[in-house]
Amino acid sequence: MTIGSDFNYPADIATKLHRKKRSSKSKWTATFPNPPDLCFDYRTLLEQKNGVAQATEPRHKICVIGAGITGLTTARELHRCGFTHITLIEKSTRIGGRHLTALGSNNTNTLGRPPFEMGAMRMPFFNKSNEQPKDGRSLMAYYANEFELAHSNFPNPGSPWVRSTGIYLQEGCIDDNDQPIMLIWKNTDGRTPPPGKTLGVVFAKWTAFAEHMTSTIAHYYGTDKWEDYWAAIVKRYEGITFRDLVKTPTINAWNANDPGNFGGMGMTAEESAIFYSIGIGDGSWGAFYDICSLYPIRTAIFGFSSHLQLIHGRVNPDGTPIPSPYLNAPEVVDSKGLKFNKPHYIGLASLAESLLFIKPTETQESLYEHLIKRESGLLTSSSVTKLEKLKNGQIRVHYTWHPIQSKITNSYFIDFDSVVMTLPSWIIETQILLENFNQDMLPFEIIAAYKTAHWETSCKVYAPLKKTFLSNNKNIPQAIVTDSFIHDVYTYRYNENSTYDCILLSYTWEDDATKLSSFSDNELVEKCIKELDRILLKSTNIKERISPYIGHKQALVQRWMKDKHSLGCAKLYRAGTYYDAVSLMKYNRDFSYTSGLYLCGESFSVDAGWTEPCFRGAIDTVINICNKTHANFNGDFTMQDYPEYINKN
């Protein structure tokens, strides 16, 4: 998504809006930019002392399945509320889920290697352009501030945060060039369009659509008209693909009598093919061309692509971790004494580590210290196999305990009052049996919605990069976008003191990732490096290899569809299935009071591939558990203040 990669229209337009200060009655209403479906300021709720509420039934037994960001956030905020019987079950020996920061060991091959973000890597904080990222009204901004996470502007292609971006399309012969060249885009002011006639036209058509839609939406967001307004947009666009939207004719002006219609981008087939490869902001859009058009609209218009940040961790400017719990511990163990990944507080993994190990101000102990006091508090290497609804209203959680070092698998069960499911939906369907949940608890429509959800595969190829590349080489662009199988190349530096910098040699999604699945990791690394050299040497204005700067043997490959704990990287939805996705987001409000089962996280959201829906789903679950157990909400919050998802199917 390179066209308009410093895509700050939402943040810029929000800065220009002159809204009155919110009244106490509307203090729970979100401000633009923020996700569209539930216009609610979760940060205001969490910033209060004791967070969401104060438990009146603290011994209500709660099981949280999955120790990714969603599960950790849910457990931490329930802990803040005063619930004392929380169990967190994790299948692997690692916390964090699809936040996966790969660190080098202290040996000759990886010494000084920077962190590689093999999963999520660039975070939107939903801040306005005149605000610091941590002042954004998002939960990511809240937790980054709470945990003192250092961050910097992510070096997206085409953004001011890279020295230059190389664009190599159609074998360097775009715009009928006589010789293959790599177009060089320098956008230091954030407003310079990409070079070349064809790219300029594509950029202009995308910009016209995006700015028109964003400027109109921003004025309605957070008002009493917003829910109906968003419903009209959904009705207009949920049935068409992004491919269709790109080719849909433009309209001259927005009509208040047809509030959901902003037309399309009016691109020709040739322009659409270019847009397919170069996208709108942080990588190729080709893999997403046939999904529901609402997904790219959400991503581009509501702040998901604005002011994206690279998370350095709980670190000093030189990259060394600041004093933090268990940082210097030789190991950490779960409630059964099994070792799992200890905290390093470096990179994005620091978020998951902070959620578990950093003590909230209001509690006597951290979530970790609270959980391991009980034999069943924190269980790793434990796979949930069945959820059984009992006649007494509880849910029996069956699980197997299989430590890596043991050849024996033991089966157990524990009964709970509430069970929180944070797993990818394909994991639920293929590995967990749901038994005795009737239609009033778990309708067939809900089961069908998560069974038929579309999960995207993704492949990342990272390697260490010699410091001399970014320090001395002015010939090869810092970021490169191509229509070859490698697609997008990113190079960046965490700090001056690491021995190496990073190169993300290839970042692909969906079919573009699937086509790489037949190669071994070593073969794929060499194939990517060789292809990048070929492109650079063929470009008559470059004529230089990048391979001498790359640490071939220290490269890492992550294929999310092959990860047995994930079976995919992000949950998306096809055209015509948006309302099914919304029904999953509504489940907690509509059915959990009766079922005792809560579905939350990115797997049950419509904001695929981002961390914010993990947070929002977690807090939604906490709110609904607190409501069911008659907890005392803080800050005069009531369920009447909490909007409901609209599903006007």
Residues 90 and 141 in one domain: yes
pLDDT score, position 3? 42
- CA-to-CA dists, residue 144 to 51, 291, 500, angstroms: 16, 31, 26
Q: 136, 151, 145, 150: which is closest to 361 by C-alpha?
A: 145
pLDDT score, position 108? 38
SS3 sequence of 534-575: HHHHHCCCCCCCCHHHECHHHCEEEEHHHCCCCCCCEEECCC
CATH code of the domain containing 341? 3.50.50
Evaluate whether residue 500 is within a structural domain: yes
Query: Token pair for residue 645?
Result: 């998802």
Amino acid present at 641? D
Evaluate whether residue 558 is within a structural domain: yes
pLDDT score, position 607? 85
Residues 391 and 502 in one domain: no
Q: In what order do the strands lie in the sheet with 433-435?
A: 410-416, 395-401, 382-389, 433-435
Residues 564 and 460 in one domain: yes
Evaluate whether residue 293 is within a structural domain: no
The Cα–Cα gap between 105 and 180 comes to: 42
pLDDT score, position 362? 92
Residues 565 and 457 in one domain: yes
Residues 476 and 542 in one domain: yes
pLDDT score, position 175? 84
Cis peptide before 33 (omega within 30 of 0): yes
Are 510 and 456 a contacting pair, CB within 8 Å?
yes
Count CB atoms within 10 A of the CB of residue 526: 15
Residues 354 and 454 in one domain: no
* Dihedral sign, Cα of residue 171, residue 176, residue 180, residue 183: negative
pLDDT score, position 387? 98
Evaluate whether residue 272 is within a structural domain: no
Domain of 460 in residue numbering reads as: 450-571
Residues 539 and 454 in one domain: yes
Evaluate whether residue 579 is within a structural domain: no
Amino acid present at 231? A
Residues 472 and 550 in one domain: yes
Residues 385 and 476 in one domain: no
Evaluate whether residue 157 is within a structural domain: no
Query: Token pair for residue 415?
Result: 């009964």
**Residue 115 CB partners (closer than 8 Å, separation 6+):** 101, 102, 103, 313, 346, 347, 348, 349, 494
pLDDT score, position 347? 96
In which residue ranges of the chain is pLDDT below 70? 1-7, 18-25, 104-112, 279-284, 405-406, 647-649
CATH code of the domain containing 521? 3.90.660.10
User: What is the tally of structural domains in the chain?
Assistant: 2
Evaluate whether residue 139 is within a structural domain: yes
pLDDT score, position 2? 41
Residues 492 and 549 in one domain: yes
Choose the final residue of a domain: 544, 571, 598. Answer: 571
E strands within 263-381? 309-313, 332-333, 339-340, 378-379
**Residue 562 CB partners (closer than 8 Å, separation 6+):** 517
Query: Token pair for residue 540?
Result: 């008559």
- Per residue in 88-128, pLDDT (tens digit) is 999 999 999 999 999 865 433 455 678 999 999 999 999 99
Residues 456 and 552 in one domain: yes
pLDDT score, position 403? 72
Residues 626 and 538 in one domain: no
The Cα–Cα gap between 197 and 180 comes to: 16
Tell me how many degrees the CA angle 352-356-362 measures, rounded to the nearest 5.
Answer: 125
Are 354 and 327 a contacting pair, CB within 8 Å?
no
Evaluate whether residue 338 is within a structural domain: yes
